[in-house]
Amino acid sequence: MASDDDEVLFEFTVVGAAVRVAAIDAATGIEVTVIGPAGAAQADLQRLALGKLRARLARSLAAG
């Protein structure tokens, strides 16, 4: 699971009035995306994407 020491890559792509944020766990290659308003703070979108990535990694770990 993504801990504070794991490397997570973020990609921000503006799509009209929205921003698509991809968060990728460097160790596993698992990627999640979130979409938010273009006016939102980058740190808020990054935190949202990281939370989604951590939840996805936890599900993967639990599934075995």
- Domain extent listing, the chain: 8-63
Give the position of tokens 């979108």: 45
Consecutive 10-residue averages of pLDDT for the chain (64 residues): 73 98 97 98 98 96 85
pTM above 0.95, yes or no: no
pLDDT of 5 reads: 64
Say if CB 17 and CB 37 are below 8 A apart: yes
Q: What is the CA radius of gyration of the chain?
A: 12
